[in-house]
Amino acid sequence: MKLLEKCLGILYPQTCCFCGQISKTAICRECQGKITYIKEPRCKCCGKPLSVEEEKFCYDCKHYEHFFDQGKSLWLHEGIVRKSIYQFKYHNKRVFGQTYGKELYRIYAEQMSSWEIDVIIPVPLHKKRRRKRGYNQSEIIADVLGKLSHIPIEKKTVIRTHNTKPQKELNHSQRKENLRHAFAIKKEWKTPRNVLIVDDIYTTGNTIDAMAKLLKEKGVQKVFFLTISIGQGF
């Protein structure tokens, strides 16, 4: 097995998920210095970084009701992080999901334990979009998290019933309307206590909120989320 791994390493050397250069680590040293890991102070609800330490919540979480309980993300959605995720989603760079998932677990394993997660649910894609893309990027990240944490993953519990417009093209109110009735839960489902939603990017939280609202209507007590990147709070 070790010989096979060495041979595969020669044939398919590991590359950095940000710059694409061959690297001994999944994130090369140069790119490590270019990415911003989210640290305190951060919003107590969505986890966006805050510029003022005395603040507890970002602007969005102060002004809009959320149905999820708490969430956190790895990196600020800017620069090479933004480019890497774009490649991951739209240019078949599925292997990047392995790095993202491992980093999420490395940083947030203790947090996941304190949340007492029973089930991991990736944000689903509509069947038309999945057919076009060939994969669901959130499932790839969830698979890694589930394998490392030994928490079961449910990929078919929540279904995307409408092929909604891309959220990035809409304003806040339009995003909420766009996701109205966008998801459904299969009828025969043994409701867990705490659920972790996994997605690639957190912006306003409307997608996660729509899922969290539905999950809580079905009896889930607490809904948390983890994403690769997130926007700036203030």
DSSP the chain: -HHHHHHHHHHS--B-TTT--B-SSSS-HHHHTT--B--SSB-TTT--B-S-TT--S-HHHHHS--SS-EEEEEEESSHHHHHHHHHHHHS--TTHHHHHHHHHHHHHHHHHHHHT--EEEEPPPPHHHHHHHSS-HHHHHHHHHHHHHT--B-SSSEEE-S-PPPGGGS-HHHHHHHTTT-EEE-SS----SEEEEEEEEESSSHHHHHHHHHHHHTT-SEEEEEEEEEPPP-
Please name which of 182, 196, 203 lies closest in space to residue 141, comparing C-alpha atoms: 196
pLDDT at 92: 95
Dihedral sign computed on CA atoms, order 207, 212, 218, 220? positive
* Cβ proximity of 125 and 136 under 8 Å: yes
* Cβ proximity of 196 and 115 under 8 Å: yes
- Dihedral angle computed from the Cα positions of residues 82, 162, 140 and 72, in that order, rounded to the nearest 10 degrees: 60
The residue assigned the tokens 């710059």 is: 19
* Cβ proximity of 97 and 144 under 8 Å: yes
pLDDT at 14: 85
User: β-strand 158-160 against 194-202: which pairing, if any?
Assistant: unpaired
pLDDT at 162: 80
Split the chain (234 residues) into runs of 10 and give each run's mean pLDDT: 44 83 92 94 96 91 94 97 96 95 97 98 94 95 98 94 66 63 86 97 92 96 98 77
* Cβ proximity of 95 and 140 under 8 Å: no
Show Cβ contacts of residue 155 under 8 Å, excluding neighbours closer than 6 positions. Answer: 121, 122, 124, 136, 139, 142
